[in-house]
Structure 1
Amino acid sequence: MNKLTALTTAACLLAAPALQAKDLALSYFMGPNHPLNEAVFTPFAEKLAEVSGGQLTVTQYPGGALNSSPPKQYSILLDGIADVAFHLPGYTAQIFPITTAITTPGMCGDALECTEAMWRAIEPIEAEFDAKLLAVWANDPQVLYTKDKAVRTLEDMQGLLVRVTSAQDIPFTEALGASSVSQPVSEINQNLANGVVDAVSIDPSATMSFKMHEPANYMTTNIPGAGSAFVLMMNKGVYNALTEEEKGWVDEASGKWLSMKGGQIYRDMAERGIEVARENGVEIIELSAEERARWDAAIQPALDEWMATDLGQGMTGADLARLFKGE
C-alpha cells in the first residue's frame, strides 16, 4: 500500500460513523411517577442499556403520550405505534382467557404468589399473545371501595353496581347479588365520586395509584378473589428483526426476575394502601371467617362452571388451576 492509499484509508476510517444505537419506544398510560416505572420500566431500560453496551436503549412515553386509551395498549403495539407497551389483559379478557384467569377466586394469595403462579403457566400465557412477553406479573387480591354504603355482609352486595377489573370477575361478582361493569382504571376515582358506580373492586394499591381514599368512605377486605394480570410486551416484528445477539440482550433484560419486581411492588403497595386509607378516615371492614364462608358458598356454582369451561389450548379451568397451583 502506497502512502497516499494509506492516508486515504485512514481518513475514511476516521470519518465512518459510530454504530447507531437502536432506541425502543415504551408506552404506558400512567404518569412517570407511578411505582411501576421505578419497579419495572426503568429496570428493564437500564439493564438493556447495560448488557448491550448502550446499543439498545429505551425511551419512555408515559401518561398516554402514544395512546390515551388504556384498553388500546395492545392495539398500538400490534400497529407498531409503540415498540414496547404495558398492558392490563383484563381490558381485553376475551382475547386472554388463560392470562386473566389468575383473578379467579382461590388461585393465589398475594401479588408474589400470583406472579409465581403465572410463571408456572407461562407457556400457555405466551401463546395467547402476538407479542414478545418481557414481564408478566400480578397484584394483590381485590378489595371493595365504596362511598355511600358499607359492605359488611353478603346482603349488602345486593343491587350494587360494581366496577370490576376484568370480564373474568363478572360471574363471581354477580353471584354475590351485584351487577358488574368494566371501566378503565383511569376513570375509577371520578366514577365512584360521581356515583356512576356504587363500588370499585380492585387491589388496595389503588389507594396510592388512583387516590381511592378520596372518594371512598369504606374498604371491605377478605372478599373472594385473586390477583389481576399485568404484562410488559414487545412488538414481535421488532423483536424478530433483531440480531441473535440483540435478542439475547432483550432476553437478559427481561423475564421472571423483572416480573417478580412487579409482583413485589404491588405486594408492598397493597399493605401500604390499606394503611393510607385508614389514615385518611376510610373505614376498613374485614369480613370475618364466617362471613367469608358465606361469600365463598355464594360463588361456588359460578366457580364450578368456570372449572369446567374450555379455555382453549386443550385446557379447562380446572387444568389451569392445577397449573397455577403447581399441582
Structure 2
Amino acid sequence: MTKRFAAILGAVLALGTGQAVADPVTLKLSFFASDTEVNYAKVIKPWVDAVNADPSGAVKIDAYPNGALGKSLPAQPQLVLDGVADIAFINPSLVPGRFPDDQVFELPGLLKDLAEGTKLYAGLVTSNSLRGYGDYHVIGSFMNANYNIFARRTIRSNADLKGMKVRIVGPIVGQTVKELGMVPILMPPNEIVEAIGRGTVDAATLVPAAVIDFGVDRVTSHSYLLDLGCGPLAMVMNRAKYDALPAEAKAALDKYSGAWINDLYVKALLAHNAGIIAGFKADPKRTVVSPSAADLAAVKAPYEKVTAAWSDKDPNNAKVLAKSRELLMQIRAK
C-alpha cells in the first residue's frame, strides 16, 4: 500500500466514522460583574451553554465572569478591540464618545418598555443607523427597563427631587434629571453603594434588576417609579475575529444571535424586573411611589425640552431620532 493511498484511506475512514476533522474555535467572553448578576445568569450563561452544545461542535465559548478579564464596565468595548476578549457584554451609555448615537435611547418618554426598546435597538443596528459599531459584530442588542429613582430618603412627588444628588448612567439621563432639579453624577453601577454610603449621592437612576445585582437595595429603601429614559446593553464580538471564523463557526454563532438571544433577554428581564418591584411593594420597610397624574403631566415639558435639545444639537441626532420614531411606528403597528 502506497503512502498516498494510506493517507486517502485514513481520511475516508475518519469521515465515515464521524471523527472530527477540526477542533472547535475557542472564543473568550468577558463579563465585568458577578456570575450571579441577572444578565449573566439568565441570558449570557444560557447563550454560552447553547452555543457550546450545538451539534456542529464548531465553537467553544470560554466565559470569564467576575471581572476576570477586566472589572471596568466602560472598558469592555476596548477589551474586545485589544484582543483581551473576543466577546464582551457592554453598556454603550458609559462610553458615549464611542457610541454617540446610542444616546437616543436615553431620551425620556421615547420607549414604553424594554421589549419595545430591544426591538428598536435591533432595528437600528441591522439598518446601520448607529455610529460606533463598525469594529464590532453585534451578537445581542438589549434594552434596559426605563430608569427609575432609588433613594435613601423618601420621595413622594416630583417636588422631593429638587436638589437631590443622583447617580446617572449617561449624559441624556443626566440632562433629564437636571431639568427636574436634581444634580447628576455619572458613575458605573458597581460604585453606587459606596457613593451613597459616603453621601456622595442621595439616590441612583437604575433599573430594578440592577438595584439587587449591585447591592443598592442595602443602602436605599425608597423607590420612585418615574420613567427617565432607557439605556442599551449589548454583547459584541471583535468584527475582524468574526470575519475570520470558518463558515461552520459563523453559522453556529449566528444561530443563537439576534432574535434568539434578544427574545431570551426580553422574556427573562421583563419578569425579573416586575418581580423585584412586587417584592419592594410587599416589604413594609420600603416605600414604592408611582408619580401622580399631575406629576406625569409636569414632566412632559422638560422631557420635550431634553429631546428637542438633543435633536437640534447635531443633524445626525435628528436623523437617528427620526429613524427611531419610524421604526417605533412599525413596531407598535405589529
* TM-score > 0.5, shorter chain as reference: yes
Query: One-letter code of the match for 2:143?
Result: A
> Cα distance 1:8–1:162, how it changes in 2: closer, same or farther (>3 A)?
closer
Query: One-letter code of the match for 1:291?
Result: D
* 1:206 equivalent in alignment to 2:210: yes
CA shift, 1:91, in A, is 0.6
Query: One-letter code of the match for 2:276?
Result: G
2:156 alignment partner in structure 1: 152
Secondary structure, counterpart of 2:83 in structure 1: coil
Aligned runs of 1:167-246 on 2, under 5 Å? 167-221=171-225, 223-246=226-249
* 1:131 equivalent in alignment to 2:139: no
Work out the percentage of aligned pairs sharing the same amino acid: 22
Query: One-letter code of the match for 2:171?
Result: A
Distance 1:127 1:248 in 2: 26
2:324 alignment partner in structure 1: 320
Q: Any gaps of 5 or more consecutive residues in structure 1?
A: none
CA shift, 1:197, in A, is 0.6
> Cα distance 1:186–1:325, how it changes in 2: closer, same or farther (>3 A)?
farther
Secondary structure, counterpart of 2:89 in structure 1: strand
Greater than 4 Å deviation, 4+ residue runs: 4-18
CA shift, 1:137, in A, is 0.7
Distance 2:233 2:310 in 1: 21
Alignment check: 8 A CA contact 2:167 2:204 kept: yes
Distance 1:54 1:102 in 2: 37
Aligned runs of 1:68-83 on 2, under 5 Å? 68-83=71-86
Distance 1:91 1:98 in 2: 13
* 1:308 equivalent in alignment to 2:312: yes
Alignment check: 8 A CA contact 1:21 1:57 kept: yes
Distance 2:131 2:115 in 1: 22
Q: Which moved more, 1:30-39 or 1:19-28?
A: 30-39
Secondary structure, counterpart of 1:323 in structure 2: helix
Query: After superposition, what is the alpha-carbon deviation per residue over 1:243-262, rounded to whole angstroms, capped at 9, x for unaligned?
Result: 23322222112112211222
Query: One-letter code of the match for 2:321?
Result: G
Aligned runs of 1:1-327 on 2, under 5 Å? 1=1, 19-51=22-54, 53-122=56-125, 123-124=127-128, 127-129=131-133, 130-148=135-153, 150-221=154-225, 223-280=226-283, 281-310=285-314, 312=316, 315-326=319-330
> Cα distance 1:6–1:272, how it changes in 2: closer, same or farther (>3 A)?
same
Alignment check: 8 A CA contact 2:101 2:320 kept: no
Query: One-letter code of the match for 1:146?
Result: A
Secondary structure, counterpart of 1:180 in structure 2: strand
Alignment check: 8 A CA contact 1:117 1:325 kept: no
Distance 2:320 2:32 in 1: 33
Secondary structure, counterpart of 1:151 in structure 2: coil
Distance 1:29 1:6 in 2: 53
> Cα distance 1:134–1:125, how it changes in 2: closer, same or farther (>3 A)?
farther
Alignment check: 8 A CA contact 1:165 1:182 kept: yes
TM-score of the pair, normalised by structure 2:
0.87
> Cα distance 1:83–1:170, how it changes in 2: closer, same or farther (>3 A)?
same
Query: After superposition, what is the alpha-carbon deviation per residue over 1:95-134, rounded to whole angstroms, capped at 9, x for unaligned?
Result: 2232232121122111112112222322235652120000
Secondary structure, counterpart of 2:42 in structure 1: helix
Size of the alignment, in residue pairs?
A: 324
TM-score of the pair, normalised by structure 1:
0.89
Alpha-carbon RMSD: 2.7
Distance 2:251 2:56 in 1: 13
Q: Any gaps of 5 or more consecutive residues in structure 2?
A: none
Distance 1:309 1:121 in 2: 20
Secondary structure, counterpart of 2:99 in structure 1: coil
Distance 1:63 1:311 in 2: 40
CA shift, 1:139, in A, is 1.8
Query: After superposition, what is the alpha-carbon deviation per residue over 1:25-57, rounded to whole angstroms, capped at 9, x for unaligned?
Result: 000012112222243222322332344622211
Distance 2:54 2:221 in 1: 48
Secondary structure, counterpart of 1:233 in structure 2: strand
